């Protein structure tokens, strides 16, 4: 019931506190009451405009804090791009906050403040799709380090978001009865998660994987004077005894363009000593450049190729660039004409024979659950290669790794993650880390590959059950008489 700038400041502060639930803090116990406070501020707004204003500021605080790592890429070359950093963070924070403002306005406009629960869940789902999508720092991500994350096998990350908002809304809706109800619901889902984690592990395939982490600083990664040193470091790690079943290097691990028959490919095969090496490389087809994962076999041949298909807008390509080329002949933004990366054909599964079928992901693709479900076949494990050196050492790499772990829970598949600077490790099919390298060191790790679970309900049906649930909840709340949260 506070008005003016005091309420605005409180909304902003609660948004910042809600961001504490994101990795690496994972402070869900701070985030949950912060979401409840945001719900109360919106519910007690005097007008739809005031509700939207409060929702927008809360979203700005949340995204500004959670996505603070977004400034790091601009400081790789600070003398050129550093001035852009604060503008990028402000644009990202206040822009994404619109996805919180609209549900707040609609709920107040219809006099059913409780509608913000299904509407905000739906808005966060839309955020993961529209304009190629950006499902980062979802409210549901606060559960990743808790047993509650096991619910993602049934409703995905968006189902976890719905749970957060229901728990936050109950105290505002029902007072102390709502607090008791929220506590009982949280205890129930926590207990279910513990039960699921206690189930027997699936049989492991008996494979040993070598994960190579070169720890190349982004400012040095493409330095010609450092290229040979970094290549040799990875070759040395690859050649170390005892021999694994597969060696894996991170995204763009080769400091040169991939060319079959080159000395680099020969050197990788020789270091493998009969063991295949999966690595990230840039390759060309005509004028088009691809960010790829390739497997180099013992005979110094490229046996498998996966080209990243879900590219980062303005980072890896210019949106509409291909259309501008086809329509107006403008080449300067067309990836297929050599400007940025060209997109691969789509999600894929690579059959590596005795190593099993892998679902490859390159960097940012791991945040999109729908991309994993789009694969034409069910894999035996997920392989993500990435270069998180762009995103500093405080929050970005850890948030990225946490979201990748959630993909393992959703799909019921083990995840192997190999990063340039970290986080590098192995996650089992229930999202538990079974082996990991320290962050920010040059090293390699030999780790056993866990086994897969049967397809989860989420892997089978995706978001469809959740959409039905949201529609039913919205209809129920809309039909209730009276003002207030419900």
Rg (CA), the chain: 23
Strand segments, DSSP code E, in 273-328 are 277-285, 288-296, 302-307
Among 124, 221, 322, 363, the active-site one is: 363
Cβ(297)–Cβ(275) below 8 Å = no
Task: Give φ, ψ of 361 to 5 degrees.
Answer: -135, 140
- Lay out the sheet containing 357-362: strands in order across: 350-351, 357-362, 381-386, 415-419, 425-427, 433-436
Cis peptide before 467 (omega within 30 of 0): no
Is 259 annotated as catalytic? no
Is 308 annotated as catalytic? yes
Among 308, 316, 365, 463, the active-site one is: 308
- Lay out the sheet containing 208-213: strands in order across: 302-307, 288-296, 277-285, 246-248, 208-213, 443-448
How far apart CA 101 and CA 450 sit, in angstroms, is 43
Grouping H, G, I as helix, E, B as strand and the rest as coil, residue 90 is: helix
Grouping H, G, I as helix, E, B as strand and the rest as coil, residue 284 is: strand
In the chain, helix, strand, coil percent, each to 5?
55, 15, 35
Q: Which of 348, 389, 367, 154 is nearest to 253 (CA)?
A: 389
Is 483 annotated as catalytic? no
Grouping H, G, I as helix, E, B as strand and the rest as coil, residue 382 is: strand
Among 251, 316, 410, 463, the active-site one is: 251
How far apart CA 155 and CA 160 sit, in angstroms, is 7
From the number of C-beta atoms within 10 Å of its C-beta (0-12, 13-18, 19+), residue 485 rates as: buried
Catalytic residues: 251, 308, 363
């Amino acid at each position: 019931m506070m008005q003016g700038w005091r309420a605005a400041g409180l909304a902003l502060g609660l948004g910042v506190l809600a961001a504490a639930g994101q990795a690496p803090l994972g402070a869900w116990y701070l985030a949950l009451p912060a979401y409840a406070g945001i719900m109360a501020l919106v519910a007690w707004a005097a007008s739809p405009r005031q509700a939207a204003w409060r929702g927008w500021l809360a979203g700005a605080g949340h995204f500004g804090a959670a996505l603070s790592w977004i400034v790091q890429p601009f400081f790789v070359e600070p003398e050129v791009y550093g001035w852009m950093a604060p503008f990028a963070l402000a644009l990202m924070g206040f822009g994404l906050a619109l996805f919180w403002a609209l549900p707040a306005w609609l709920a107040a406009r219809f006099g059913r403040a409780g509608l913000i629960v299904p509407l905000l869940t739906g808005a966060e789902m839309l955020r993961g799709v529209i304009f190629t999508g950006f499902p980062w720092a979802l409210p549901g991500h606060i559960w990743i380090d808790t047993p509650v994350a096991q619910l993602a096998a049934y409703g995905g990350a968006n189902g976890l978001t719905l749970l957060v908002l229901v728990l936050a809304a109950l105290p505002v809706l029902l007072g102390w009865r709502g607090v008791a109800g929220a506590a009982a619901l949280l205890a129930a889902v926590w207990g279910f998660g513990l039960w699921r984690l206690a189930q027997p592990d699936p049989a492991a395939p008996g494979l040993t994987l070598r994960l190579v982490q070169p720890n190349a600083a982004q400012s040095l990664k493409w330095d010609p004077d450092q290229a040979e040193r970094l290549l040799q470091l990875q070759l040395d790690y690859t050649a170390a005894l005892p021999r694994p079943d597969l060696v894996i290097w991170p995204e763009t691990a080769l400091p040169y363009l991939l060319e079959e028959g080159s000395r680099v490919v020969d050197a990788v095969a020789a270091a493998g000593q009969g063991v295949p090496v999966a690595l990230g490389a840039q390759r060309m087809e005509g004028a088009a450049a691809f960010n790829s994962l390739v497997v180099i076999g013992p005979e110094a041949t490229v046996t498998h190729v996966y080209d990243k298909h879900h590219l980062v807008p303005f980072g890896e390509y210019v949106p509409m660039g291909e259309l501008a080329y086809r329509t107006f002949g403008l080449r300067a933004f067309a990836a297929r004409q050599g400007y940025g990366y060209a997109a691969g054909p789509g999600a894929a599964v690579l059959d590596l024979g005795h190593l099993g079928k892998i679902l490859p992901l390159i960097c940012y693709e791991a945040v999109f659950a729908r991309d994993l479900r789009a694969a034409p076949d069910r894999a035996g494990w997920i392989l993500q290669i990435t270069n998180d050196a762009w995103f500093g050492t405080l929050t970005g790499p850890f948030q990225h790794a946490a979201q990748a772990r959630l993909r393992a829970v959703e799909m019921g598949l083990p995840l192997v993650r190999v990063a340039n600077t970290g986080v590098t490790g192995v996650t089992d099919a229930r999202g538990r880390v079974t082996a990991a390298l320290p962050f920010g060191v040059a090293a390699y790790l030999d780790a056993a590959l866990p086994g897969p679970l049967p397809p989860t309900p989420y892997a089978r049906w995706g978001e469809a059950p959740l959409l039905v649930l949201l529609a039913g909840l919205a209809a129920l709340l809309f039909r209730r008489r009276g003002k207030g949260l419900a």
